[in-house]
Chain A
Amino acid sequence: MGFLTPMFLGGLLAVGLPVWLHLLRKHKTTPTPFSSLMFFERREQSSIKHRRLRYLVLFALRTLLLILIALAFAQPYIQQKLLPLTRSGQITVVAIDNSLSMRADGRLDQAKRMAKSVIAGLHPGERGEVLAFGSRVQVMSEITDDHSPLNSGVDSIEPSDARTSYAELVRSLRSISQATKQPLDVHLYSDMQQTGMPANFNDLRLNAAVRLEPHPVDAKPVANFAVENVVAPRRVYDTKKARVLATIAGTNNQRAMRKVSLFLNQREIESKNIEVPENGRATVEFLSLEVPFGANRGAVRIDSGDALPNDDTFYFSVERVEPRRALFVHEAGETRGLLYFQDALQASGQSAFVLDPATVEQATNISPSKYAFVVLSDVPGLSPGFENELRSYVRDGGSVLVALGHETVANARVPVSDNRVDGTRYASRNGEQFQTVAWLDAGHPSIQQDNRWDNVKFYQAIRVNPGNARVVARLTDGTPLLLDEQSGEGHILVFTSTFDNVENDFPKDAAFVPFVEQTARYLGRLNDAQTAVFVGSFEELRDSKEKGAAVDVLDPKGERALSLEEAARAQNIQFTMAGFYDIRRPSARNELVAVNTDRHESDLTPAPPETLSLWQNTAQGTAGSGGESGPESSDAAPKPLSLWWYVMLAVLALAIAESWLGNRHLSVDKEAA
């Protein structure tokens, strides 16, 4: 306890006034003559003593009143750490971090022990709740004053591979505080990873009713090595050896040599020794990955020998598949378009598709359903049967790329999509001579990665009424150049020029190869699945055609990750542990998903004490008390709490009591006056 203005304590000298009034002045008794004492008795002395006692009560009240007034001016304060003891109805929340980093050096067990000591210290009737948090918050016990469910909740917390998210914890605390309408005394047990802090500090803002007390567990910077990233092909279509590039990262480490190994299906393929610089990264390249058919489980491991072995392995999935076939329909004798398109497809480095050329007549007998996509390159007219087959093919999910040229104009409509052809647009020799692309929808998958079409010269373009189609590109005169129309489950992509290097010079432009590659992947539904994802990410389990069909998901332990009901209804799944998830869809679209722990967890650097102090103070809306006040010293550096109001309330109560008691004496005086 201290005083903000101790000089006012000099006012305590005023206590001398009641001392003089009651103690000194009262004893001065003047003998008063009275006519006769025959009606007075000796026993009156007891009455006088009683009277004197009451005067002493009044004296005590007056003295105390003066003392309290002097104290009020001196503005006494106490340290705030005494305040929580007076908060009534508060709920003690024990929040334990079970993220990946808590696996290091038995931190989770240490946190549990510390949490149990807090639970043991709860007084009877004092309620508590146990939370476990990583990227999500799990309620491990209900709000209760019984210690056994609280301890059971602590015991049942298992280590996870999730990433620490303090923002998620704060959001849950706010929800609990609003739901219970009670003050929360939160004991946080975590390694206080810096990487667990949100980008926006405002996400850590606590309610006024929430008091946070961080208990850092082994919060020292610890050296750690991790395989930060692996770049490997998701699919391999040929027998060529694939290239794998791994990045090894070290945090808080000294320069060290580490052995990095490449595994495929748990068989070591190759290993290399690399030097990891201090607090730096090193890359290692493997060129010997020979992938057998089917889904394969790849991994890159490092012999780190550090406290956190769970980030020493990076899983990746690689699949060897046969290239898919695509149908290229063209006018007989017109093979320039086929030449350019096929070359572009091969030049893309992707051998995912093999092009089957066919003339219009040959295509009449071909069923398009076995092809990944179909290209109609300036065809004059299709047989009705084939065109109908194409339409149903598109409705069922197939895709068609239509290139329009002078042959198509004669039909006055676009094949398959039946969009009206309004005419043809020629660049005149005397006028602009050629047109260029004026506008591109960069979000379209066909041009998403390369949209530099500025140098392409278009001499002829077919003007098509877009109808419901999405216009992806326009020429300078506004003529739609690329249209994308969805029909059923499939897409019809209309290019209003040709690929033959006659009506434009697009096939010779650098943008042509990326366009063909991206269009083929888009139309062939060859998605860019990642070789690996992180714990906490989601994967779509089914599309609209697969509703109600069961999807089996085996987790890294080989157990079913979904219940029967979830297997029939769940739209997606969140990966909760590192390893390989085997997703088996009803349409035979099986997938092996490699899931890795978030590498943010590999950085075991704790948050600075200033940050934690600021976080604690967000509930009071005040800034941090300074750099020296760390989480451990938060109890040792309490904030002053003014007692002025309490003292003034006591002064008020004493003044009322003094007035009441004094009035009783004054009433005698008034009568005697």
Chain B
Amino acid sequence: MIQQFLDPAILASISGLDLIAKTVVNGFVAGLHRSPDFGFSQEFAEYRAYNEGDDLRHVDWNVFARTDRCYLKRYRGETNTQVLVLLDTSASMAYGSHSVHKLDFSRFLASSLCYMANLQRDAAGLIIFDEDVANYIPPSTRQGQIFRLLHAIEKAQPGTRTDFAKPFIHFQNYLHRKGLVLVLSDFYADPDLIVKTVEPLRFRGNEVILFHILDPQEIAPKFREPMLLVDMENPSASLEVSPEYARHDYRQKIDAHIEALSSKTRSAGMDYFLMNTARPLDEGLREYLFIRQGRM
């Protein structure tokens, strides 16, 4: 039931990214309310018997007064993390084999992540880029930040081709403190180049998560007949592709690409997550929260 509202196809029928973000996050959180592992701010976490070496600041003296026993009261961390969402709006992100194309899906995911960060009072920021930086909203916890972010996301339009090198140099200039960097892209580039480009962010102490947004037709293309394919980032390039090639050779190549990107990013200390635009958004959110928890 809950999953139904996280289906990208259903979210696409909802107007307004704010509403979409609320629907996703609220539904997602409601589905997890019994989980002891997740929570925000100063929420009570647990009582634990005092052991030697424990910080006395966490002893619940009220309990000690009543029971004459030392217990530690644990809270969830209340750190303000800077979250920066990097949204790729290159032309290839406009591809979609069903009602939700990759850019829409990325919008939903980015807005949801921003909304969730805002709930947590994290300083959320946004960079929209293709071969250059198209828009930049610095991270902030100021009032109205969420609306600025959602507005920027909503205005994002497919641009030209992807060039990671140029915009990422700018990112390094914008990032002044450590935080969480979420990159939403289809990563149509050499994995070595991508890792090499993104890696500096990690060196500066950032947690980097790559959300690899791909359409199911890109992961496993199924053509009924030979097709003349036109490159969306380079309309002058076209190829006639047979269904057999798409079923076998292409799959091998795209799988190798995904595998290479995954292994190389993880080996570089970054996190990688493949997002299928036909699947619900909660997988992406869960991945974010998992990383976010690790930062407490």
Contacts and interface: CB of A to CB of B under 8 A. Distances in A.
Contact of B227 (A32, A47, A668): A32
B218 interface: yes
Contacts of B102: 35
Contacts of B249: 41, 44
Interface residues of A, number: 26
B65 interface: no
Nearest to A45: B240
A34 B226 contact: no
A29 B240 contact: yes
B239 A40 contact: yes
A30 B241 contact: no
B238 interface: yes
B186 A35 contact: yes
B38 interface: no
A48 B232 contact: no
B81 interface: no
Highest count of chain A CB atoms <10 Å: which of B231, B247, B257 = B231
Interface in B176-190: 186, 188
A510 to B, nearest CB: 115
Given A34-B231, A40-B229, A48-B242, A669 B224 contact: yes
A672 B229 contact: no
B11 to A, nearest CB: 21
B226 A51 contact: yes
A317 B295 CA distance: 145
A83 interface: no
Interface string B119-136: 000000000000000000
Contacts of A30: 227-228
Nearest to B101: A35
Interface in A44-86: 44-45, 47-48, 51-52
B237 A39 contact: no
Given A31-B228, A34-B95, A40 B186 contact: no
Given A668-B224, A671-B222, A44 B240 contact: yes
B238 A44 contact: no
Contacts of A34: 95, 229-232
Given A44-B242, A668-B247, A671-B222, A35 B188 contact: yes
B154 interface: no
A333 interface: no
B187 to A, nearest CB: 10
Interface in B184-204: 186, 188
B223 A672 contact: yes
A431 interface: no
Highest count of chain A CB atoms <10 Å: which of B188, B230, B243 = B243
A48 B247 contact: no
A35 B94 CA distance: 8
Contact of A47 (B218, B238, B245): B245
A36 interface: yes
Contact of B250 (A26, A29, A39): A39
A198 B16 CA distance: 109
A239 to B, nearest CB: 120
Interface in B208-240: 215, 218, 222-234, 237-240
Nearest to B218: A35
Nearest to A672: B222
B253 interface: yes
Contacts of A1: none
Contact of A33 (B230, B241, B242): B230
B283 interface: no
Highest count of chain B CB atoms <10 Å: which of A30, A35, A42 = A35
A663 to B, nearest CB: 15
A24 interface: no
A669 B226 CA distance: 12
Highest count of chain A CB atoms <10 Å: which of B188, B230, B234, B240 = B240
Contacts of A199: none
Contacts of B227: 29-30, 32
Contacts of B237: 37
A36 B230 contact: no
B231 A36 contact: yes
B19 interface: no
Contact of A40 (B225, B233, B241, B257): B241
Contacts of A52: 226
B49 interface: no
A38 interface: yes
B254 interface: yes
Contacts of A48: 226, 240-242, 245
Given A34-B95, A48-B242, A39 B254 contact: yes
Interface string A295-306: 000000000000
A383 B241 CA distance: 136
Nearest to A51: B242
Contact of B239 (A33, A35, A42, A672): A42
6 contacts: A29-B226, A31-B230, A35-B232, A36-B232, A44-B239, A44-B241
Given A32-B229, A40-B245, A673-B224, 8 more contacts: A31-B230, A33-B229, A34-B229, A35-B215, A35-B233, A48-B226, A51-B244, A673-B222
Nearest 8 pairs of A and B residues by beta carbon: A672-B222, A35-B95, A35-B92, A39-B253, A34-B229, A36-B188, A37-B231, A48-B242
